[in-house]
Structure formats: C-alpha cells, structure tokens
Structure 1
Amino acid sequence: MKILYLTKYSRNGASSRLRSYQYFPFLEAKGISVSVSPFFDEDYLINLYSGKRTAKRKLLKFYLTRFFTLFSIYKYDRIVIEKELFPYFFSWFEKVLHQLKVEYVVDYDDAIFHNYDLSTNKLISFLLKNKINNVMKYSGCVVAGNGYLLVRAKESGAKKIVILPTVIDVDVYKAKNNYVTSKIIIGWIGSPSTFKYVKNSKSVFSKLLEKENVELHIIGATEDLGLGSNVKYLKWTEESEVALISQFDIGIMPLENTPWELGKCAYKLIQYMGCGIPVVASAVGMNKVVVDEGINGFLVREEAQWLDKLSQLIEDSALREALGKKGRIKAESEFSIQKKQAVLLSVLANE
C-alpha cells in the first residue's frame, strides 16, 4: 500500500508530528510505503514561533506547491489530509476529490472549524463558516482526536468517523522511579501561542513560588512571567522533551473554557502521565477524559483549587507517586501508539 500524507507542517509542527509523522515508522514496519508533503515548510514554523510574518510570495508558493501535488494523487492507494488542503480557502478541491471518487481521510486534533465560524473577521465567517463541515462531508473517513470533534463530524454528515486520540510512544517515555526530592518542580510544556494559559494563572504560581523548595519549569516559551529566578525557561527540541518533562514532579495544563479549547486533545497531560508524573488540569474538554479525579491527578475550576491541589502534591511525595504511577498505567493502556496503531491501520485499509 502506498499512502500520501498531506500534512499542515513539517515534523517540528506539533500537530503534524503527533498525528502523522510519529506513525510513519510503525506503518513502514507493516510494509506500507509513506510519502509526505507538508503545506508549510520549516522556515514558516520558525517565523511562526518567533512572531515574524512570512512574505506573501512565499505563502503563494505554498499554495501552488500543494495544488501541483494534487496531480499525483493517483499514484497512491490512500490520501490522508491533515485538517484541510488549503488554509483560508474554499473547500473546492476537497469537493473535486470527492467527485473523482477519491475517498480521502481527514484528521483533526483541534477545532479549526472555529477559525472560520467564530472568526472576528466577518468576511471570513460569512464565506468559510461551513468550510470544514464540507471537508468532513466529502471525506471517506474523519479521524477525530476527541468527542467534541466527533460531534462536529457527525453534524457535518461525514460518512465514517473514527476516534483516535493523540498518543505517545511509551517506549520513549520512561516512568519516574524517584518521587522524593528536596526541590519540587511544577512543569508545563507548550508553544508560545498556548503560553497565555500559564500567564492567566500567574497569581497561582506567584504564591506557590514563595516556597523556597518550588520551581516552575516552562518548556517551549520564553516570555518572562516576571516571577524571579525560580522560573526556568527551557528550549524545546524533540530530542530533549522527554528528558525535560521527566524532571517535573507535577505537570500542569491550565486552559480557558471556550469552544476552541474543547477541541484540544490534552496531549500535555498524556506526556506527563507517560513519565509517571501526577497532573493538575483545568476541568475543560478532553482534560476531563484523561484525568481521573484523585486517581492520576486533579481537575480544577478556580484559583483556590489550583492552589489547594498543587499544595497537596508539593507537600506529599507518597501522593505524587501514587497518582503518577496510575497515570503511567493509563497512558500505556489508552494513550499509546502501541495500542492505537491498529485503529489507524484499519482506517487506512478502509475496513
């Protein structure tokens, strides 16, 4: 079988890496030939994360490259599209594929339909509010990362829908074996665009960091919280992320409670749990599926709860160990590529 993946980003783009690239070695081990054609290149990602704009002529090149790539689709047995063929453009090309009887697979790990139907740009909202519904409707199969995305796919009229959470390779993520430490590290991993959730909880960390034995580690964002030397800002790389997460004693995932957050797949929590780390997370969306209250972590709704649950974990190494070990078990059983690759293989085989 030959498969073409039309991803949004290169491997360093988190959604593309986790929903597509990390599966390639497993697919190739099954004798499947995988080709990949990202829409945006690596330079675009570098500019995106550093807040720089990409030149319009470069953006035009991305659209043209994707357009000409579509002429090669008949070389492949299966086409997998990450989210959409052309960002901020009509679903015309997905419709053409449908008319040509190309039963493409489309994958979602975010509520990107809200880029359009909830856009503050009235023209975008008017012209593209139904775009992703159409992309889903024209597909042969929608692969949804959580229940919120599944509901949207059903509403769109998608012919086939499969739930596939965002997962980790548990052979790469090693569980902690030492929960007794003189310094407690609260940790968060993410991108500059999602760092706003940590900033929203700044007052919580300000109070917790008054304790001499507490540090806050931020992986993937460099904006200074202004909370002093007990906050460490660490550069993200794919090679170093597991080692950096393994230094955490508590993993956090604060979120806002808006339609956009309901589409998120709680990947941070799964990463923490894969390392045997207890978690504290906002009681929003997929977080409520991943976190079993009081078993592998805590769900919180307000600042007082953040302070209470984090303080409990800071002060009780036995609690951290109990919750962390349960989290590792859940990561292995429900959120590992080892358990979920069969789901993807079934989708690709059109079973």
Structure 2
Amino acid sequence: MKVLYLTKYSRLGASSRLRSFQYFPFLEEEGVEVAVSPLFNDAYLEALYSGKKSVLAVFWAYLKRFVILFSVFKYDKIVIEKELFPYFPALFERILTALNVAYIVDYDDAIFHNYDLSSSKLIRYFLSNKIGIVMNKAEAVVAGNDYLAEKARISGAKKVVILPTVIDIFRYNVVEKRDRDKIVIGWIGSPSTFKYVKNIFPVFEELSRLYPIEVHIVGAMENVSVSFPLQFIKWSEDTEAASIAGFDIGIMPLENSSWEKGKCAYKLIQYMACGIPVVASPVSMNTVVVQPGKNGFLAENQKQWFKCIEEILSDKRKCFTFGLAGRQLVEREYTVQGNFSKVAAILKK
C-alpha cells in the first residue's frame, strides 16, 4: 500500500509531527509505503514564530502543493492535514472527489473557526462552511477530540474516528523524587499560546511570596517584567522531554472560547508521561484528561489557580500520587504505540 500524506508543516510543526510523522515508522513496519509533502517548510514556520510572514513563501508553497496534486493517482490513500489550501475555497477537495480520489482528513484544532468566526465579512461569506464541505467529501474524518468530531458529524461526514494527540511513551521518563529548595512550575507550547500563561502571572506573583517557586517556559520567549523567578527555555524535539522532566508541576491554562474547545490536551499528556501533577483550565479535552484530586486539578479563575497550585506545593505526597496516576492514564490511553492500530485500520479499510 502506498499512502501520500499532505501535511500542513514539516516535522518542526507540532500538529504535523504528532498527527502524522510520528506514525510513519510504525506504518512502514506494517509494509505501508509512506510519502509526505508538507505545505510549509521549516523556514516558513520559523519566520512565522518570529512574527514574520512572507506572501512570496506562501505563493511558492501553494504552487508546490498544486503540482503535487497531479501525482495523487499513484497512491492508494491520500491523507490531508486539515485542508489543502488555507483561506482558499474547497475547490480542490471537490475535484478530488469528482475524480474518485478518496481522501482522509485529520484535525487537531478547530480551524473552521478561522472562517466562520473571522472578523472579515468576506471570509465569513465565502469560507464559513469550507471545512464542513471538506469533511463531508472525505472518506473519513479523524478528529482529536469530541468537539472536532461533532463538527464532522453535523457536516455529514461518512465516517468519523476520534484519535487523540498522543506521545511516544519511550521518549518520556518518570521524574525521580527530587530533594531541592525550588519548586518548578512549567509550561510548554508555541509563542502564539504563551498568552494563556501570561493571564495567570498574578498567581505566580502571589505564590512566589509564600513558596520558593520558579516558572519555566519552554518554546516561547518574550520580554516581560515580573517579580517571580522566570526562565525561558528554547524548544527542540530532542530536548523537550528532558525540559518537561525538569518541572515539578505542569500547567495548561486556556481561555474558554470556541477556538480553545478544539485543543487536544497534548501538554497535559506530556506532563503526565513524566509523572508530573497538573493544573489546567476546565476547557474541552482538559476535562477528560484531568481527573481532579487524582492526577491533578482544574482551575477556572485566578483564585482557583492559586488554590490548586498551593495545594500541590504544600503536600509533596500529591506530587507523587498525582504523577503516578497521570503516568498510568497515559500508558493506558495516550500513546502512539497503543493508538497506532486505529491509524492502520483507517488506512487499510
């Protein structure tokens, strides 16, 4: 079997790396011949994270994607990450269907809200139902959580499969019990999502007056003036697990809006894989992964964030018991090894 993956990014992009690339070695062991063609390369993504956008880079990326579409007949299956051409009508997905080229489409974000909730009237008018059309025409829709799956169902998708965003369990080691003065509260993510952490900076300010905390931010860097100890750590795929292993508590704050309901709680899964207790906003899949009082806590406002983190800080036993429960949950539900069979079944059916 030959499969073409049309990902949005190269391996540097988290969504593409986790939803597609990490499955390739397992597929190849099953005799599946995988070809991959990212829409955007590493240079584009690095520029995007630094706040730079190039119209020329987008043009060449779209042109390359257009050319690769002429090769789809060589493959038994086509897997599309989200959409073929962002901010362009679902014309080419319709053409694939008209040519009897069945495709599978994968979502780990509520990108349909880029269109139906856009501030631009033109985008809302022309593209508000674009992702619904893409889902409707697909052979199968793979969704990272229930919110995304429900969008596929109401769009009339032929088949909907829920596949959480998962980890390679062998890359994450359980944190050994530490004996040190400082307590590290950590977060990992992209520059675009660092805004959620800044919303709870006042909590860290208050906690730092009572406890010897240090806040670690992995994957984002920004000039901020704070009174609590703050360390920014550069992200890389090779070092991310070790960076997380340096945390004592892992956090995932979110806003409670339509876009955030598409999030797949991947940060929490990473933290738990290292045996770390978590505190998160009660939004979407966070409420599925976090079992309050067992592997972490859910906090809705700053008062609750302070209370939840302080409860872990003041009782070191919770670090161990919550961490152990989290690791066990990840091993049962959220590993690439355990979920690979779903991917194989979708492709081979």
TM-score by length of 1: 0.98
| Residue 285 (structure 1) aligned with residue 287 (structure 2) | no
Determine the structure 2 residue equivalent to 1:171.
170
Equivalent pair of 1:179/1:318 in contact (CA under 8 Å) = no
**Offset of residue 180 of structure 1:** 4.3
- 2:266 and 2:30 map into 1 onto residues whose CA distance is 26
- 1:337 and 1:42 map into 2 onto residues whose CA distance is 24
Q: What is the one-letter code of the residue matched to 1:29? A: E
**Offset of residue 228 of structure 1:** 4.2
| Residue 49 (structure 1) aligned with residue 49 (structure 2) | yes
- 1:335 and 1:169 map into 2 onto residues whose CA distance is 9
Q: Which runs of 5+ in 2 are unaligned?
A: none
- 1:230 and 1:324 map into 2 onto residues whose CA distance is 24
- 1:82 and 1:301 map into 2 onto residues whose CA distance is 32
Determine the structure 2 residue equivalent to 1:202.
201
Over 3 Å counting, the alpha-carbon distance change for 1:181 and 1:316 in structure 2 is farther
Q: What is the one-letter code of the residue matched to 1:14? A: A
Equivalent pair of 1:180/1:317 in contact (CA under 8 Å) = no
Correspondence list, 1:125-274, <5 A? 125-211=124-210, 213-228=212-227, 230-274=229-273
After superposition, give the CA deviation of every residue in 1:56-104 in whole Å (9 maximum; x if it has no partner): 2221111111011000001111100000000000001001111111120
Over 3 Å counting, the alpha-carbon distance change for 1:290 and 1:269 in structure 2 is same
Q: What is the one-letter code of the residue matched to 1:88? A: Y
* 3-state SS of paired residue (1:72): helix
- Choose 221-230 or 23-32, whichever is displaced more: 221-230
* 3-state SS of paired residue (2:25): helix
Q: What is the one-letter code of the residue matched to 2:162? A: I
- 1:227 and 1:78 map into 2 onto residues whose CA distance is 51
Determine the structure 2 residue equivalent to 1:76.
75
Determine the structure 2 residue equivalent to 1:35.
35
After superposition, give the CA deviation of every residue in 1:168-199 in whole Å (9 maximum; x if it has no partner): 01111111121543211000000110001011
- Choose 205-214 or 170-179, whichever is displaced more: 205-214
Q: How many residues align?
A: 349
* 3-state SS of paired residue (1:12): coil
- Choose 178-187 or 314-323, whichever is displaced more: 178-187
Equivalent pair of 2:204/2:228 in contact (CA under 8 Å) = no
- 1:15 and 1:210 map into 2 onto residues whose CA distance is 38
* 3-state SS of paired residue (1:171): helix
Q: What is the one-letter code of the residue matched to 1:170? A: I
Equivalent pair of 1:91/1:131 in contact (CA under 8 Å) = yes
Equivalent pair of 1:179/1:317 in contact (CA under 8 Å) = no
**Offset of residue 260 of structure 1:** 0.2
Q: What is the one-letter code of the residue matched to 2:154? A: E
| Residue 117 (structure 1) aligned with residue 120 (structure 2) | no
Equivalent pair of 1:84/1:106 in contact (CA under 8 Å) = yes
- 1:229 and 1:213 map into 2 onto residues whose CA distance is 9
**Offset of residue 323 of structure 1:** 0.2
Equivalent pair of 2:205/2:227 in contact (CA under 8 Å) = no
Q: What is the one-letter code of the residue matched to 1:252? A: I
Q: What is the one-letter code of the residue matched to 2:7? A: T
| Residue 6 (structure 1) aligned with residue 6 (structure 2) | yes
Determine the structure 2 residue equivalent to 1:21.
21
TM-score by length of 2: 0.98
* 3-state SS of paired residue (1:107): strand
Determine the structure 2 residue equivalent to 1:315.
314
- 1:322 and 1:26 map into 2 onto residues whose CA distance is 33
Q: What is the one-letter code of the residue matched to 2:97? A: H
After superposition, give the CA deviation of every residue in 1:213-265 in whole Å (9 maximum; x if it has no partner): 21000001111332246100000000000000001000000000000000000
* 3-state SS of paired residue (2:169): coil
Equivalent pair of 1:280/1:310 in contact (CA under 8 Å) = yes
Correspondence list, 1:75-114, <5 A? 75-114=74-113
**Offset of residue 314 of structure 1:** 1.2
Q: Which runs of 5+ in 1 are unaligned?
A: none
Q: What is the one-letter code of the residue matched to 2:347? A: L
Report % sequence identity. 56
* 3-state SS of paired residue (1:64): helix
- 1:155 and 1:212 map into 2 onto residues whose CA distance is 49
* 3-state SS of paired residue (1:293): coil
Equivalent pair of 1:281/1:298 in contact (CA under 8 Å) = yes
* 3-state SS of paired residue (1:233): strand
After superposition, give the CA deviation of every residue in 1:6-65 in whole Å (9 maximum; x if it has no partner): 0000100010011001111111111111110000111110110100121x2221111111
Aligned-residue Cα RMSD (Å) equals: 1.0
**Offset of residue 212 of structure 1:** 5.3
- 1:34 and 1:40 map into 2 onto residues whose CA distance is 18
Q: What is the one-letter code of the residue matched to 1:49? A: Y
* 3-state SS of paired residue (1:194): helix
Equivalent pair of 1:6/1:82 in contact (CA under 8 Å) = yes
Determine the structure 1 residue equivalent to 2:339.
340
**Offset of residue 317 of structure 1:** 1.2
Q: What is the one-letter code of the residue matched to 1:19? A: R
